[in-house]
Structure 1
């Protein structure tokens, strides 16, 4: 069981993130903490609340728009023999 108040390193380890990421989350106001004379401390409740705030449900999450897979500007079918003939004519003359 984790200690009642965790240091930055202990809290980062519990969240499986690096200390720098935890510091950034704190500075952005995304995770709560306890300010003490000896430094910043985190409670297990702070960490669990953060994890819950990050939870998403697949069914309600915004879905990315689907693409047709066609990346060209024109979806028309090309006559490759005609394109090749045009290129070779351009090279000769």
Structure 2
């Protein structure tokens, strides 16, 4: 399955992304919406690198945390960011 162009920047560190924060959030939201764990994992990596979280991303993280078809480690990482973001 060929990946769409929107998520391809996730294969590089967040620091190399040259567009706005809003564009970066769109890329992360697309990755978190992907039905397989690869892009979700990379999107969570960008969040761990410091990309600010918005309400849409929090919702997507909650869905990943509850999706038992994803690896446990991925769900735990999503849950940790989700929990930190909802406690603010």
| TM bucket, shorter chain | under 0.3
TM-score (norm 1): 0.23
TM-score (norm 2): 0.24
Which structure's residues are more often strand, by fraction? 1
Larger gyration radius, structure 1 or structure 2? 1
